Amino acid sequence: MANILWGNVLAEKIKDKLKEEVTLLVEQAKRLPKLVVILVGKDPASEVYVANKQKACLKVGILTEIIRYDEKIVEHDLISKIEELNYDDSVDGILVQMPVPKHIDSDKVINTILVEKDVDGLNPMNVGLLQIRKPCLIPCTPLGILELIKSVEPNIAGKNAVIVGRSNLVGLPTAQLLLQENATVTICHSYTNDLKSLTRQADILIAAVGQPGLITKDHVKPHAIIIDVGTKKQADGKLHGDVLFDEVEPIVDHITPMPKGVGPMTIAMLMKNTLKAYYQRESKDGI
């Protein structure tokens, strides 16, 4: 039987450690880190995500502000607000909850966020810095994936890592992080021939497609580490991952559940990034 990688448990440990750091700032009478989250419209899933982020901030001690806009807000007004927050010295992190309404250019929104405050790690400058292995704010989900893997396998140098999915949000930045850990990385996608032959070679298999049940027992190598990122609500009203958990779990050594796997780690990494942005800005200001 596999060891279940409960992301929610690891995430709480990480937030507890971050809370200790923030408590020390309070004791030193220093300014507290602040995260601003902008939510456009009333998408139910986005409401849940934002509420979870606010709850995490409260636990860690990070100040948080939720700015809500009607879905009919014009793009110019949203951009102007982000620019205002860019120059607000009390704000360390800015996050615009995606998706935004179709009449708003999400790329333009992301590009407007100051690179030092881009705690989602999606600004092209941060993306580029990650590629050339320079200090930057790293996308939260890939960072959480790496933390999960290293919690059971601290040294992954030389391991075969296969990522199914090549999105800018998960697949590509995860590949870069694993390369920086000296793993041998293969990226698979919808044009990949004979997916099974590649995934069966993986010491570490990361599924990030959003296609429930894509990865079966026939896709995995015995004793592998399986990270299931894909999530999609099915007809039964429940969230399902890309991995057929019941089939795969008996074969491998470590596997994330769905839910309570990668999701909680993403939020924990958002807290970590916000604190990192705070430290970087304070250091730059000479405080």
> Taking the model in full, what pTM does it have?
0.95
Task: Tell me, yes or no, if 97 is annotated catalytic.
Answer: yes
Q: Which CATH number fits domain 140-263: 3.40.190.10, 3.30.70.890, 3.40.50.720, 2.40.40.20?
A: 3.40.50.720
Q: Which of 97, 242, 272, 276 is catalytic?
A: 97
pLDDT tens series, the chain, 287 aa: 899 999 999 999 999 999 999 999 999 989 999 999 999 999 898 999 999 999 999 999 999 999 999 999 999 999 999 999 999 999 999 999 999 999 999 999 999 999 999 999 999 999 999 999 999 999 999 999 999 999 999 999 999 999 999 999 999 999 999 999 999 999 999 999 999 999 999 999 999 999 999 999 999 999 999 999 998 877 777 888 999 999 999 999 999 999 999 999 999 999 999 999 999 998 865 33
The segment(s) of the chain belonging to CATH 3.40.50.720 are 140-263
DSSP secondary structure letters along the chain: -PEE--HHHHHHHHHHHHHHHHHHHHHTTPPPPEEEEEEES--HHHHHHHHHHHHHHHHHT-EEEEEEE-TT--HHHHHHHHHHHHT-TT--EEEEPSPPPTTS-HHHHHHHS-GGG-TT--SHHHHHHHHTT-S-PPPHHHHHHHHHHHHH-S--TT-EEEEE---TTTHHHHHHHHHHTT-EEEEE-TT-S-HHHHHTT-SEEEE-S--TT-B-GGG--TT-EEEE--EEE-TTSSEEESB-HHHHTTTSSEE--SSSSHHHHHHHHHHHHHHHHHHHHHHHTT-
Task: Tell me, yes or no, if 16 is annotated catalytic.
Answer: no
Q: Which of 53, 117, 221, 276 is catalytic?
A: 53
The segment(s) of the chain belonging to CATH 3.40.50.10860 are 30-116
Q: What CATH fold (topology level) applies to the domain 30-116?
A: Rossmann fold (3.40.50)
